[in-house]
Amino acid sequence: MTITAAADGSALGNPGPNGWAWYIDDDNWAAGGSPHGTNNQGELQAVLELLRATAGTDESLIIMCDSKYVIDSITKWMPGWKRRGWRKADGGPVLNRDLMESLDEAMQGRDVKFAWVKGHAGHDLNEAADERANAAAKAYQAKREPRRGPGFTMVGVDAGTMVPAGDLASSAAVSAAADQPLWAEASSLLDVFNEPAASPIELQLALTPDEHARLRDRAEAQGISLEEALRRLI
């Protein structure tokens, strides 16, 4: 099968509080953002997050964007930028290089096509992505946690296999948990410590890409480090 999705970004003030979102359907979408960024950064981040979310599938992917900058960056300009050490034809540095390099890596081995759609023109998928990206930007403007969505939950797509019916409930529970605030995810981890320790305890915690992104966004919103963000959850 082919997965068709829309990816969009938003920035209030451009630059200003920004948001990103990708959308397949009401059961498969995600959004996020940062306290300060540009519209182009939001658009690029949306595509990157979509590629990361669907990385476990072997399905082809069609990404609809209303940004020709994003499409041309990935499909036309990137090979030349790489040959010149991530510099433009005039010798100047490529803008948003960190996102461009991450996108280049995420595209490797993927069957991905891009399609341009006119923004704010009634295209269902584009409108849904735009609405969620704008809502995320407004959440950062208000210094509150945005709605992040269920993520990629398509049954039967991952690795080309169907999820057994008995596993559907647990899959739904995982999807629902994605909308929980980060402190809720950490609470079960902290429950294992019943007695205060006399000396510091070192913990190693493996986070999924989505969990790491939520922690990063929370830390950036508060102007603190990732470590400090974790400490504040205790």
Does 104 qualify as catalytic in the annotation? no
Catalytic residue flag (residue 123): no
Choice among 8, 49, 210, 220 that is catalytic: 8
* Catalytic choice (92, 120, 166, 223): 120
Q: Which strand (E) or helix (H) includes residue 141?
A: helix 124-141
Collect all residues with Cβ–Cβ distance below 8 Å to 38 and sequence separation of at least 6: 11, 14, 15, 18
Q: Whole-angstrom Cα distance, residue 130 to residue 164?
A: 34
Q: Which of 9, 19, 33, 151 is catalytic?
A: 9
| Secondary-structure percent of the chain, ordered helix, strand, coil, rounded to 5 | 45, 20, 35
Catalytic residue among 43, 49, 217, 220: 43
Residue 13 appears among annotated catalytic residues: no
Let me know if 179 is a catalytic residue. Answer: no
Tally of CB atoms within 10 A around 163 = 15
Q: Please give the Cα distance from 144 to 118 (Å, whole number).
A: 30
65 CA to centre of own chain = 15
Known catalytic membership, residue 120:
yes
90: annotated active-site residue: no
Unique residue bearing structure tokens 């269902």: 124
* Cα–Cα dist 66/75, whole Å: 15
Q: Are strands 16-25 and 28-37 parallel, antiparallel or unpaired?
A: antiparallel
Catalytic residue among 19, 33, 130, 151: 130
Please tell me which residue in 49, 66, 210, 220 is annotated as part of the active site: 66
Task: List residues with catalytic annotation.
Answer: 8-9, 43, 66, 120, 130
